[in-house]
Structure 1
Amino acid sequence: MTLRADPAVVAWVGRHVLPYEAKVRSALSRARVPESDIDDLLQEAYCRLCSLRSIEHVENPEGYLFRTVRNVLNAQIRRRRIVRIDFVNAMDLLAHADQRPSPEEETSYRRYLALVREAMTALPERCRRILEMRKIEGLSQREIARRIDVSESIVENEGAKGLRLIAKALRDKHGEDAPEIQWRRQARD
C-alpha cells in the first residue's frame, strides 16, 4: 500500500522546514556523521514529514525537524547491533539543538508572566500605559510621547520606574530568585 503525501503538507515542508536543513547538516557534521549518512537521515526525515496527515500541531518547524531527524537516528541505532560513536555524538547534538522550551520551562514562564501582569496592574496609570505601549505595542519613545503629549524624557523615566516597580514586586514575592527586568535604552526614532 502506497501512502500519498498531501500536496499542502509537502508545500509546508518546503516552505517552513527545508530552510533549517543547513542547521541540521551542520549539527550532524560536527558530530562527524559521514555526508552519505546525513543525506540518508534527512531523506528519511523528509519522507516522514511529508507523510504527516496534518501539520496543525507543529508550532516550531525547526524543532520538529531536529526531533524527526533524532527519531530517525534512534530508529537506525535500534536496528544496528553495533552503534557507531558518531551516531551517539549526533544524538547528543540534536538533543541540544532543539531550542523549544520544556513543559516545565513553559509552566514557569506562564507563572512569571502572570506575576508580571499582576504587578503591572498595580502601577500608576501613566506608568502602566507607557510600559504597555513600549513593551507590548512596540511603539518608540517618540511616538508614545506624541500620543500622550509628554516629553520623551518623561516616557523614558516612567518606563524605567515601571520596570523598577515590577522588579521590586517580583523580588518581594520571589526574593533573589526573581528574574531581572531591564529597560533597554533604544535609539530614538
Structure 2
Amino acid sequence: MRHDSVPGPGDAPAAGGGAARAWSDGTLATYRAALRAFVARRVADPHEVDDLVQEACARLMSSVREREVETPQAYLFRIAANLIADRHRRNLPTVPLAEEHHPAVAAEQEERRRAADVRAALADALAELSPRVRDVFVLRRFEERSTGEIARDLGISPRMVQKHLTKATAHLYRRLHHLMERGA
C-alpha cells in the first residue's frame, strides 16, 4: 500500500484493503479505548499508559504505511505488549538476592569430591615413599602411636623414627601443597 493511500480516521474503507478497515468509522478510537484498558492493567503510572498507547498507535500507523496489515487490532495489541515488555526490561530495578537465594559457596557434593581427590593424592604420594618411611608415617599420623612405641615395634631408634617422619612429611608437603592452597 502506498503512503498517499493510507486512510485516516473516519475515511471510507479502500477496496480490498484489510488495513484500511482499521481506520473506517472511527475504529481507531475504539481500538484506542480497548488498548488503553489493556495497557492500564499492566502499567501502574497513568502517564506511562498514555505514552505507551500513543507509541503503539504511531507504530501501527507507520506499519500500515509500509505494508498491508491484515489484523490491525491484533497487531496493535502485539505492539503494545512488546512496548510494555521493553519498558519493564529497561526499568527493572536490580534487587540483591536474599541470603537464602544464594547458592552455597561450597556445596556438599563439591566437598565430597575434593575430599576424595585429597585421599587419592595422599594415597599416591604415600605409595611413592619407601616401605619403612611409609610405615613410620602411617603408625604415627593415622594410628596415633608414640615415637617410642614405633621405635620399639620396628626395632629402630626413636631418632630414626623422627628422621623418617621428617622425610615423609617433606615429601607429602611437596606433593600435596597445591591441594592445601585451594582449601581442599
Q: Please report the TM-score for the alignment, with normalisation by the length of structure 2.
A: 0.39
Bigger Rg, which one: 2
Greater relative contact order, per chain length (Cα 8 Å cut-off, separation 6+): 1
